[in-house]
């Protein structure tokens, strides 16, 4: 599935991925960001996620829109064996889109338009 990060240029956007554990055993995942623009995305809560049995866990992915071109990466969740149970590897496509451009500031100045 695809997670879209849409917002204004220079905005920081945080998306939360919910992971459910329907089994009676704990699940653990290591999260990795890979791809062309993976360095622009981050995992502010770390890259290890543990999901208790019959509960849910969350992975936060943060992105700051620095350029006008769309950024792309992949969130890869690789399961660790816990209690002898191995979970499935999960992948999510990460894409960004600039929706607006807000000026960071304005400068007023006076200058002649033409000087001989």
Mean pLDDT of 36-50: 94
Residue 87 burial by Cβ neighbours in a 10 Å radius (0-12, 13-18, 19+): buried
Residue 112 lies in a domain: no
Bridge partners of 4, per DSSP, are 95
pLDDT band at 113 (very low <50, low <70, confident <90, very high): confident
Least confident of 28-32, 33-37, 81-85: 81-85
CA 81 to chain centre: 25
- What pTM was estimated for this model as a whole? 0.81
Residue 51 lies in a domain: yes
Count how many domains the chain has: 1
Domain span at residue 75?
A: 2-100
Q: Which tokens is 74 given?
A: 């992949």
């Amino acid at each position: 599935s695809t997670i879209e990060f849409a917002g204004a240029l220079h905005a920081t956007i945080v998306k939360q991925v919910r992971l459910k554990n329907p089994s009676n055993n704990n699940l653990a995942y290591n999260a990795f960001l890979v791809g062309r623009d993976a360095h622009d995305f981050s995992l502010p809560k770390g890259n290890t996620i543990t999901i208790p049995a019959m509960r849910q866990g969350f992975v936060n992915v943060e992105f700051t829109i620095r350029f006008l071109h769309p950024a792309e990466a992949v969130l890869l969740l690789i399961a660790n064996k816990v209690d002898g149970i191995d979970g499935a590897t999960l992948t999510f496509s990460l894409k960004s889109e600039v929706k607006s451009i807000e000026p960071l500031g304005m400068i007023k100045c006076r200058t002649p338009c033409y000087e001989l």
